[in-house]
Structure formats: C-alpha cells, structure tokens
Amino acid sequence: MSISSYIGLDPSYASFDKQLLTGDGTTVTFTLDFAVAQAGQILVSLDGIVQEPEYSYNISLSTGSPKISFAAAPSNGARISIVYLGRSSVSMVSALASPHIDEFDGNNSTTEFTLTRMPSAFIAANFLVFVDNVFQRYGSSYSYTVLGTTLTFNVAPPTGTNNIQVIQLSQANTLNTVADNSITSAKLTFDPADDATALAIALG
C-alpha cells in the first residue's frame, strides 16, 4: 500500500511504502522491509497512535536485516503501522536529507524553545512534535506554533527530561550572513546609467 502525497524533501522513490505488523504482547523487535538510517525516517503508529522516534522505538542496522525495537512490547493484536518517509540505502543518506531532531526538557513553566535548525517552511507538514510521547497538533488554535527558530507551546509542557521532541521532516533553510565591513562603498555605487534604470523600474 502506498501514500501518494508528500510535503518536504523528495523521497527516494515515487511514493511512501507502508508495512503492517501485528503485536503479540511479548515481541519487542520486528524485521523491517527496508533499511533506514535512523528512527526519524519512519512514521510508526500503534492502533492509530503515533509513536515517538528514539523514545518509543529505535532501529538497528548492525546485524542482518534492519529491525525496529519498541521500548515496550505492543499489546496482543495491536496494529503496527510503519510508513517509510523516503527510504534509501544508508550510504546515500546525507545529513541534510535526514529528518532533524531536537529534544528539550519541560519544566511546567517554559513555553518557548529554540530549534537548532532554521525550518524550511512554517507549516504543519514540516513538523512532528511530541510531548511525553503524545503527538502535538500544529497551529495557534491547537498545541504550538513556530516562528523563525522559536517553537512556542500554547501550554507549558510538563516537567521531564528530554520529554519534548521536535522532528523537522524537510531540508533546512540556509541563511547566509554577510560579515561586518565586508561590503565596500564601491560595491554599493551605481553608475548614472544604472541609477536611471533603477529609477525607471521603481517608478514603473
């Protein structure tokens, strides 16, 4: 089964691949259909509840087939859904192509947190945010908003260690900063012909 729509980095294939598994109440490790470089490159849900990467589950590439290991065994009969967010061989995954993850400590009072990467777009599809393993909905009317590198929750997250996880799914915006005193007056000076052209453009 494939999901045809995608917002963010182009996946390595034309569509997302999906894998369905069933829990038995004891098994914590399952074999993946495809190799991924890190936990954030798959979207995992248990009975429709989205799971937090590197908290609820991790992946292993060290022995044989790629595997997913849950922190606790999914219950007997639980429906495990795994969506591959643009799969590729590990050797082809670059730092910019991988989802970017920030983790923060909640203290029941702080609502603003500074991301370590500038988002490429301030839309819901660019973020997966979890607080205490619970998925948060983007938007001022819901759980949080993002402006620049500042993520602001409507309600301060509860106290915890690394209990806030922010996953950016698309590539970073690169902001170029001009060094002080690096632009000379000559570079800002136009000749008369250029000035006349600029004025004509400005005046329409």
pLDDT of residue 89: 37
Express each pLDDT in 156-165 by its tens digit: 999 999 899 8
Percent of residues, the chain, with pLDDT higher than 90: 27
Cα dihedral 31→32→36→38 (10° resolution): -60
pLDDT of residue 12: 43
Express each pLDDT in 69-80 by its tens digit: 999 999 999 999
Is residue 131 within 8 A of residue 199, CB to CB? The reply is no
108, two tokens? 């029941």
86, two tokens? 């643009």
pLDDT of residue 170: 64
- Write down the pTM of the prediction: 0.46
Res 110 pLDDT > 90 = yes
pLDDT of residue 167: 85
Res 117 pLDDT > 70 = yes
Give the pLDDT band (50/70/90) at residue 23.
very high
Is residue 27 within 8 A of residue 4, CB to CB? The reply is no
119 or 203, greater pLDDT: 119
3 or 126, greater pLDDT: 126
Res 96 pLDDT > 70 = no
